Amino acid sequence: MMLSIQYVLKIRVCNNSNDMNIHQITDLHIPDENVTEEQYLHVRENVRRQLDYTNKTKPDLLVVSGDLTMNDACESGCLWLRDQLPDIPVIVIPGNHDEPEMIKRLFGEWPWRQDYEDCSIVFLDTSPDLMSKEDMSNLQAAESEAPCILFMHHPPHRIGTGFMTINQPLLNCDESAAAISNSIVEHVFCGHYHNEAEILCDKFMLYLTPSPAFQISLNQAQFSMESFVPSVRTIHVCENQVTSELVFV
C-alpha cells in the first residue's frame, strides 16, 4: 500500500553485534548565550554532558525530540546545538516551542519513516499540540515485519494528574492513542512532560524522557519543579526485542 508520507529511507545498519542502538534527548530548552537567570545557568552544561556521553558511546542514531530552546524558536540556541552535535546520524523533530520550518532549515528535514535492518522508526511532528489526521491514517496503514518505534514530542497519553496533564496535553490525545494502538507501533518515545515514566498503554509501551533543563512534578496541579540529574535515554533493538533505560550523565 502506498503511503502519503514525506519520504521513507531504507538504511542498513552494520555493526559488530548486528543490533541497533539509539539515543534520545528532549526538551533541551537551551537558553540564550547571555542568560543571567541563575535557574538556567546549568542548562548548556547539562546538554553538553548528554552529548558527550552520546559522542563517547557512538550509537547508530541520536533523536532530539523537540523543544530545543528556552526562548521559543531561538535561532542562536539552535545553532549552538548544531555545533555541539556528535558526528553520528542525528534526527531532530520539533516540539511545541519550535518552529518546524527553522528545524528543517538548520538540521534537515526529518523523515516520516525510516527503515533499518533491525527496526522501523516513525517520526511525527506534534508541534501544533496535535497529531494530524494524515499521520493517524498513515500509521494505521503502515506495515513492517520488524519492530516499529515511534518518536513524537507529546505523549499520546495523560501521565499523572499534574500541571502538564491539566494544562498542556496533546489535544487529541485519546484519538492519537487509538491510532497508535491500531498500528504496527509497539514502542513510543516522547518528552514534553519534563519527567520520566514507562507506561504500558493499550497495545504499546510509552516511554517518557526527562529534560536536561528542569523537571516538573507529574502529580502536582501547580507548576512544581523537582531536583534531577540529566540523562540520556538509550534504546536497544536486538532480535526483535526493544529495551530502554535512562543513563544519568
Position 36 scores a pLDDT of 64
What are the chain's domains?
A: 8-248 (3.60.21.10)
* Contact of 27 with 95, CB cutoff 8 Å: yes
C-alpha cell belonging to residue 179 = 491510532
Rounded Cα distance between 139 and 124, Å, is 10
Query: Which of 77, 63, 66, 75 is CA-nearest to residue 30?
Result: 77
Position 153 scores a pLDDT of 98
**Segments in the chain below pLDDT 50:** 1-16
Please give the order of strands across the beta sheet that includes 90-93: 90-93, 61-65, 20-25, 231-238, 241-248
* Residue 53 backbone dihedrals phi, psi, to 5 degrees: -60, -45
35: CB partners within 8 A, 6+ apart: 41, 70
Please give the order of strands across the beta sheet that includes 148-151: 8-10, 113-115, 120-123, 148-151, 185-190, 204-208, 197-201
Give Rg (Cα) of the chain. 17
10: CB partners within 8 A, 6+ apart: 115
Position 17 scores a pLDDT of 54
Rounded Cα distance between 200 and 137, Å, is 23
Rounded Cα distance between 92 and 106, Å, is 10
* Residue 85 backbone dihedrals phi, psi, to 5 degrees: -65, 140
Q: Can you name the residues that pair with 90 across neighbouring β-strands?
A: 62
